[in-house]
Amino acid sequence: MEPNPIEVSVDGGIATVCINRSERKNALSIAAANGLTDAWERIEADDRVRVAILTSADCGVFSAGLDLKEAAEIARQEGVDILSKMRDPFHETMRACRKPIIAAMTGSLMAGGMMLTLNCDLRVGLKGTKVGITEVKIGRGSPWAAPALSMLPQPILMEIVLTGDLMPIERLHDYGFTNYLEDTPDAVRARARDLATRIARGAPLSVIAAKASVRATMDLGCAGGLEEGKRLHEIVYASQDAVEGPRAFAERRAPVWQGR
C-alpha cells in the first residue's frame, strides 16, 4: 500500500499541501486527486488558514499529471475512464478556494501538473525545468487550459496546447507566468513560504476580496469585474478590521486582525 499521497500541514496561518508520490513522478492517481479535493475543502473551511502552498515530493517532477498507468489499468479492468472515479476531476474545488494558493513547483510539470498550477494565484518555479500541456500526444484533453489565456500570450498558449511540447520554464517566466525562479527545490519552497508569510500578515477579509476581485475580472472582463469587485469589498469596508487598520497605523503598531 502506498503512503498517504497527499500530506497537509498548517502552521502560522499557512497550509502546506504536498503531493507525495515521488515514485510515480507525483502523478495524480484517484487517491491523490481525491486527496487534493479533501485538502481544498478543509482549507476553505478552516478559519485559521490564511493562505496555502501547493508543493510535491522531490523527484525532478512537480507533477506529471494524470497517472496514466492507473488509467490504463482501470480502462482494461472496468471499461471506464479514470476521471469517472474522481470526485472533482478538473479540480474546480481548488479553483473556487477563496484563500490564495501559491505553487511551489520543485520540478518540471506537464498535463495535469500544469492544470494545478493554473489554479494557483502565484507561482514559484525551479530553474532548468520544463513546462507543458502534453494531452494531444496521449489522446487526452485540456479543457482546463482556458484560464491560461489570461496568463500567457495567445500564440504561446496555442503552441503549448497544439504541439504538446515541453518548454523551458525560463521562456514562460519571461512572459510573466511565474513570480520567481529559484536555483534549488529548497529555495523554491523558501520563496513560496516567504510569499505566504507576507500574505498571511494582511487583513483576512481584504486578502480574500482581493483574490476574488482579480478572478472576477479574469472571468467577466474589466467592466464586469470592476462592478463585482465593488460588491465583494462591501464586507471589507464594513468590517472591524477596516477600523483596526488605520487605528494601528496611527498608533504605530502592528494591527490585530479579527477577520470580521
- Give 253's contacts (C-beta < 8 A, 6+ positions apart): none
Strand intervals (E) in the chain: 6-11, 14-19, 51-56, 61-63, 101-104, 108-110, 122-126, 130-132, 167-168, 180-182
Residues belonging to the chain: 260
Number of C-beta neighbours around residue 216 at 10 A: 18
pLDDT for 163 equals 95
Strands 101-104, 61-63: pairing kind: unpaired
Please state the rounded mean pLDDT for residues 225-237.
81
Cell match 503598531: residue?
A: 253
What domains lie within the chain, and their CATH numbers? Answer: 6-200 (3.90.226.10), 204-250 (no CATH)
pLDDT in tens, 46-69: 999 999 999 999 999 999 999 989
Q: pLDDT grade, residue 10 (50/70/90)?
A: very high
pLDDT for 1 beyond 70 = no
pLDDT for 44 beyond 90 = yes
CB 218 within 8 A of CB 210: no
pLDDT for 22 equals 92
pLDDT for 115 equals 93
C-alpha to C-alpha distance for 107 and 169, rounded to whole angstroms: 10
pLDDT in tens, 77-110: 999 988 899 999 999 999 999 999 999 999 999 9
pLDDT in tens, 171-197: 999 999 999 999 999 999 999 999 999
pLDDT for 196 equals 97
Strands 167-168, 130-132: pairing kind: antiparallel
* Beta bridge partners of residue 124, listed in sequence order: 104, 180
C-alpha to C-alpha distance for 2 and 138, rounded to whole angstroms: 26
pLDDT for 243 beyond 90 = no
Q: pLDDT grade, residue 246 (50/70/90)?
A: confident
pLDDT for 258 equals 86
C-alpha to C-alpha distance for 7 and 152, rounded to whole angstroms: 31
pLDDT for 2 beyond 70 = no
Average pLDDT, the chain: 91
pLDDT for 147 beyond 90 = no
